[in-house]
Amino acid sequence: MSGNGFHAELSDTGVTVWLTGLPSSGKSTIAQHAAAALVEQGRRVQILDGDELRKNLCADLGFSRADRETNVRRVGCVAELLARNGVVVLVPVIAPYEQSRQAVRALHEAAGTRYLEAYVATPVAVCAERDVKGLYARQRAGEISGLTGVDDPYEAPRRPDILIDTTGRAVADSARLLLDGLSAGVETAAARNGSR
């Protein structure tokens, strides 16, 4: 995964890459592989893990729509603070509602901080088969409700900056799609900013 996929535009500039998708779609795994490649290239990288943040920063929140939106806003604020200080921030957090994701994008844009949305568009049937955390099995057994994409809404991005379907694709290939999209997205943003 090493190589020169990243240019000067990314060498000292922070960016938030929000990986949205269903549970077990591959968000965290892709983020971990991409982070390893970026670290190899000498970048400062931080993964904001949704489960870890739920236990600490957002321990007071449940899973109602309002609480999910608050969770996304809090994580988005932390991501922006890191990105504005030169960190590549990878955020593998479901963020099921379009309005919340757009609010995070707007926060970054208002601060002049680069932001990309990556949609890990793995179909629900594939996610349920993987079932990394056993959530789909527990939902089917009636042990839990409110599972995103099954009995709670997931609003898929209409125009993501990066689109990754992990179905039948090796993790390394999915991570490469993310890294290529990151490189292209940062170059596009740099060109836009240079033309102002």
Smallest CA-to-CA distance from 90 within 61, 50, 126 is with 50
Which positions make up the binding site? 21-28
From the list 87, 115, 86, the residue with the least C-alpha distance to 185 is 115
CA 129 – CA 41 distance, rounded (Å):
34
Question: Distance between CA atoms of 157 and 163, rounded to whole angstroms?
Answer: 9
Detail the residues annotated as belonging to a binding site for ATP.
21-28
Give Cα 174 to chain centroid, integer Å.
13
Q: Helix (H, G, I), strand (E, B), or coil: what is residue 97?
A: coil
